[in-house]
Amino acid sequence: MDDLDRVSARVENRHMNQRWRIGRTSYRVPEEVIDPREYEVATLAGEREAKEFIRTHHHLKSTPPSRWRFGLFRRGVLVGVAVFSHPVNDRSITNLFQIPVEDGVELGRLVLLDEVPGNGESFFVARCFHNLKREGIAGVVSFADPVARMASDGTIVAPGHIGTVYKALSGAYLGRSTPRILRILPDGQVLSERTLQKLRAGERGTQALRATLLHFGAPEASFATAEALQEVVRQLTRPLRHRGVHKYAWGFTPAVRKKMPRSLPYPDLAPLLQKPTI
């Protein structure tokens, strides 16, 4: 049985509540109930604590520019982080909720350690939502990527998920984003087109990408021209056909909810049981 088969077996057994520790994913059964007396949700004042937690435990390592950060603490020890960020595309907020972009946020990262019981995500995020409402936020959007990511050696880097916690929180399911072709690095990470554009334009914030490409064998001359960069990307990455991520949303007021599209039927598990196509 290979890694993806093991992931599929866990999915079939409904071990669908994803957890992380030191970059490795695992699952807790959804029937487990958290003891609220042992847990506390608190705002994380600065970015450092959230970034370090995500860098240590989540496979993506990176943290989107955050507006609010919340921590889940068990007896004073940090066991989970939720980051709410400005969306990559303002229209994710303005078109969906018909509100100013600053009145909405995206749930950009949700990372819980493997010790947190099965319903820990819904417990944690529900309390985050409560705090955001008090801050004047009117809507939240989030995305769930169901496509597994595999490193070049076949290791499962990210098994994919369909947003089980979002269903538990009664999020409106709004379908999938536009299908596209992703470029996958040898370690299974996605090479972002937006970051590539910044690198081509010589913008700041691309040091990590340069270091990654150099690590995988790109010569320094690869960054001299757009053509050279395109060629090294072609050599170092492989294509992955992606049918689009699942989109969920929550309106926090009756007026906002009235303007939102009607929720579609929630997605099933079938896409998670399929191997990624290249």
What was the pLDDT predicted at 213?
86
Q: What is the mean pLDDT of residues 263-271?
A: 76
Q: What is the mean pLDDT of residues 121-132?
A: 94
Domain ranges of the chain: 3-180+243-273, 192-236
Other Cβ atoms closer than 10 A to 98: 15
Note the Cα 132 to chain centre separation in Å. 19
The residue type at 192: S
The residue type at 3: D
What was the pLDDT predicted at 269?
56
What was the pLDDT predicted at 10?
39
Q: Residue 4: pLDDT band by 50, 70, 90 thresholds?
A: very low
| Superfamily of structural domain 3-180+243-273 | Gcn5-related N-acetyltransferase (GNAT) (3.40.630.30)
pLDDT in tens, 8-27: 333 333 446 776 677 677 67
Give whole-number Cα distances, 85 to 21, 109, 181, 192, 272, in Å: 23, 9, 25, 18, 27
Q: Which of 98, 147, 185, 125 is nearest to 267 (CA)?
A: 147
| Average pLDDT across the chain, whole number | 82
pLDDT in tens, 29-84: 777 788 899 999 999 988 888 888 888 887 766 777 889 999 999 999 999 999 99
- d(C-alpha 192, C-alpha 242), whole Å: 13
Counting residues of the chain whose pLDDT is more than 70, the rounded percentage is 86
Range list of H helices, the chain = 3-12, 48-57, 91-97, 120-134, 164-168, 193-201, 207-215, 226-236, 254-259
Q: What is the mean pLDDT of residues 230-249?
A: 89
- Judge whether 216 and 186 are in contact, CB under 8 Å: yes
Task: Give the side-chain half-sphere CA count within 13 A for 195.
Answer: 18
What was the pLDDT predicted at 21?
73
Q: What DSSP element (H or E) covers 251? A: strand 246-251
